[in-house]
Amino acid sequence: MTTIFDAPDMFAATALEGFARIYSRYVRHVRGGVVRATKTPAGKVAVIVGGGSGHYPAFAGYVGPGLADAAVAGDVFASPSTAAVARLCRQAQRGGGILLGFGNYAGDVLNFGVAAERLRAEGIDVRIVPVTDDVASAPAAMQAKRRGIAGDLVVFKIAGAAAEAGLPLDEVERVARHANRNTVSFGVAFKGCTLPGAPGPLFTVPKGQMALGLGIHGEPGTSEEAILPASGLARLLVDRLLAERPAGAGRVGAMLNGLGATKYEELFVLWTAVAPLLEKAGLEIVAPEAGEFVTSLDMQGCSLTLVWLDGELERYWTAACDTPVLRRGGAIATEPADPGTADEDDAPVFVAASAAGREGGLCIRRVLAAIAGTLADAEEELGRIDAYAGDGDHGQGMKRGADAAREAADRAVAAGAGAAGVLAFAGDAWADRAGGTSGALWGLLLRSWSGALSDEAPMEDAAVVRGARLALDAVMRLGGAKPGDKTLVDAFVPFVAALEKASAAGQALAPAWREAALAAKAAADATAQLTPKLGRARPLAEKSIGHPDAGAVSFALIAETVAGLLDG
């Protein structure tokens, strides 16, 4: 288990700081990630990668000449926030546009996507390539739904080499997508991983068994079978990937990846069985790698990644690079980059609020403080619910987000902000600190809700109800979920419907909200019978049946907390 840390909730940030100090010749620490410490030419395409922490050397270990220009780091197993992605992009871009690469997870898709929209509005050309290499998470005909696991490094390496060669953004994007289509991975786990400070692993594997089709965020495998000797394990991994071999493929890049607690010697033993199987299949192996490339804290297990090579992909797969984790080819001449600029989003500016608006801001602060207390008490239970088919970090993420929102509300109130300003600022803080899908959704939810409030007028019941509809519409539009997908939306939709119905019937906010909270609770309980269709739980749908969705449960819990305040 993870044992070396001080405060568990600061583990990721502290680890990133230590990494940046050790590898200062490669990277410069920027809040939320790292950028190259060496100069890049003006007009170069910036390849910026990222995702949650807990996967080292993904993603900061990929930054350096020939590979990535920056990496954005979220908390453990949580997507970096929209603000962090945009911040790192502004620091790293050189005028040639930006390619954003990340594993295909709902939180990353949402946060990187919203950040790309913001940057495009600023005149920066941004392209997005989610990596979809995990064959266990969806059939070949549904590659766009697959997760990104160890194939992240392959796709980023090839895209980084194309950018280093001076290709324009259109071409770098094309090459990256081509690499992604040609990259496949499959993995197994022998033991689960444990979050810093957690009392036990996110999942367990029966003694003598291995979990097939694991995820890298602590998700259990899709099935289990008896542990095989190296020859049998090699056959399992290779056969699963050869089933997707394109017609005419004769050359292949290969990578054996350890997940955090599998020794290098074990990978070397496994390679002696993998390589002959690939060669027997008529494949010539090009520049193979073995080691830790995309880990999952202290998970014991491994994965095999293959990239089907043509002339173009092979050229970039074998091109020189110099990063903390991967070094190839001859030395790349570099010189130190100029000192970076200060973070641009530390000093919020609020619209001057009236006395009535400030009173509304105080009300919002009281609500957020109560929510933070409720989520702190529920952290362990929400994590337990999430662990059935997710990564078990929902409680942690919700607590982090609510704490950050409460602190942001304190700052906004002290600065004289009104209801709209306090709620919007708190929403941004929730998303920035919590990360992940739930962090992005709650940040979006609160900021959208603030659009119905005012910094000048009193906070009226009708405005609160109108804000609920704005928030729901934004979450469904940008988050992509709909009722029945087993997400927060399953509780949010009946909440808003009940709130609007009671309000239209003339009820005051307190009793209307109470009815809506009861509707949300009933709907959240009913998600136990649903099959997840989005997010990390989707590949583990059967394990989720019989257990409610953690996002729906936490939404209902928050709604009930606010109802208690209104009743008082």
- d(C-alpha 447, C-alpha 180), whole Å: 34
- d(C-alpha 189, C-alpha 202), whole Å: 12
Catalytic annotation, pick one of 55, 217, 394, 547: 217
Residue of 452, 448, 456 lying closest to 428 (CA atoms): 448
Residues in the chain: 568
Query: Can you read off the two tokens belonging to residue 129?
Result: 């390539």
- In the sheet that 33-36 helps form, which strands lie side by side, from edge to edge? 27-30, 33-36, 70-76, 46-53, 98-103, 126-131
Q: Is 29 a catalytic residue?
A: no
Paired strand residues for 128 = 100
CA atoms within 13 A on the CB side of 216: 37
- d(C-alpha 160, C-alpha 486), whole Å: 37
Vertex 306: Cα angle to 98 and 282 (nearest 5): 140
Rounded to 5 degrees, what are φ and ψ at 90?
A: -65, -35
Rounded to 5 degrees, what are φ and ψ at 328?
A: -140, 150
Amino acid at 507: Q
Question: DSSP letter at 63?
Answer: B
57: preceding bond cis by omega (within 30 degrees): yes
- d(C-alpha 171, C-alpha 177), whole Å: 10
Report yes or no: 49 and 127 within 8 Å, Cβ to Cβ: no
* Exposed / middle / buried, residue 330 (Cβ in 10 Å: 0-12, 13-18, 19+): exposed
Q: Which residues are catalytic?
A: 217
